[in-house]
Chain A
Amino acid sequence: MTTTRDLVLMGLFAAVMAALGLLPKVSLGIGVPITAQSMGVMLAGAILGAKRGAGAIGIFVVLVALGLPLLAGGRGGLGIFAGPTGGFLVGYVLGAYLTGLAAEKLPIKPDFPRFIAASLIGGIGGVYLPGIPHWWLITDSALTNVVLMSLNFMPGDLIKVVLASLVATAVYRGYPVIRRA
């Protein structure tokens, strides 16, 4: 049953995602610079759990599609979905869901390592799963090329996994929102 609190957490965390878009990109030297916002996907799952995390990111992605400039850099609208990276936005929702599922169910007791594992599964696995095929279809180029291109994102993604896990662990210590079975 979806409670009032569930709905409010979803709506508010969607707004948190939008706020994370205000943070400046961080260049790493190698690979594409990372945005704090993409961390939000893993945070949503780890902190709110699978259902609410996916709900929050789902709300965010739909609002972007409906035309709000919520992505880092004030971007948004249907154009994003039409481009090569559009699948990754859909992947955000799956990523949040899988991160949450893994964070709830993985038999790793201490928070930080459990969040690392969950973020790898959800934040990378979940996000790339719709991301790669969409990119491949839209640009109609060889799958190997697409995969090679995505490697550009890897260094950033791994840093995000660590950062998101640190943030989630700290938030959990301050204010656990879900209880593990």
Chain B
Amino acid sequence: MIGDLQVPGPSPIHAVPAGWKLLALALLGTGTFMLVSLPAIGAVACVVAALYPLGRVPLRHVWTQARDLAPLLGLMAGAQAWFDGPMLAGITVARVLGLVWAAGLVTATTAFADMMAVLERALRPMRHLGVAPARVSFAMTMAVRFIPLLQRMMVETRAAQGARGLGRNPFALAVPLIIRAIRLADRVSEAIEARDALPDGDADEPESEGARRSRTRDDREETR
């Protein structure tokens, strides 16, 4: 994927398991709300920024994250400084920056596959709530597979519509893309059913359902 958010390791921070990093992030999040002094929070934010080189993440990332937040944060800080004083505004800015930097560092030093693994572990107890973790994982991995394809389809649609002078028209771009995607979904479902590849969900799935539904697949309407 173009413009990956992850930075290659190895580094001491890359080596920390994903679960621990997420826990640390959560603790930091709650912790900074309990700190009430500007120097303290400011120090925390600086420490986080200083960890970037330890994770082999270029400091440039610290800057770009701050820059992306600047308009919104600046506006809020300005209003807060006016109403509540500069001290409180400073605390807000330091806290938001610190947390965003910390979260950014976790993302930059943790492989997507490792994050996925944490999610799957977290989903396991959910099966008692009627959620099938294997199916959630399946749908998510399918999305990952199809993202580059749909992005390519979008580029093709833009080129095709561009030739008709509609290259910047969101309507002319979204409608064909979505229709193509739904048609593709029909073919994909058919192929998965034929392979009997769907991971386990409910125990008692009537299989004639699939046959009946596939027969009416061209009806394009789904009964509820």
Interface residues of A (CB under 8 A from B): 1-5, 7-16, 18-20, 22-24, 26, 36, 39, 43, 47, 55, 59-60, 62-63, 65-70, 74-79, 81-85, 138-142, 145-146, 149, 163, 166-167, 170-171, 174-179, 181
Contact = CB atoms under 8 A, between A and B. Distances in A.
A170 B119 CA distance: 37
Interface of B: 1-6, 25, 29, 33, 65, 68-69, 72-73, 75-76, 79-80, 83-84, 88, 91-92, 95-96, 99-104, 106-108, 110, 112, 115-116, 119, 132, 135, 138-140, 142-144, 146-147, 149-151, 153-155, 158, 168, 170-171, 173-175, 177-179, 181-186, 188-189, 192-193, 198, 201-202, 205, 209-210, 213, 220-224
B102 to A, nearest CB: 7
B18 to A, nearest CB: 10
A176 B220 contact: yes
Contact of A22 (B80, B108, B155, B222): B155
Interface of A is mostly: helix
Given A22-B154, A68-B5, 20 more contacts: A2-B132, A3-B210, A5-B185, A7-B142, A12-B184, A12-B185, A19-B153, A24-B168, A26-B170, A67-B112, A68-B112, A77-B108, A78-B104, A79-B103, A82-B102, A140-B33, A171-B179, A171-B182, A175-B179, A177-B222
Contacts, number: 231
Contact of A7 (B135, B158, B213, B224): B135
Given A4-B189, A7-B198, A9-B185, A139 B112 contact: no
A107 B79 CA distance: 43
B221 A149 contact: no
A139 B76 contact: yes
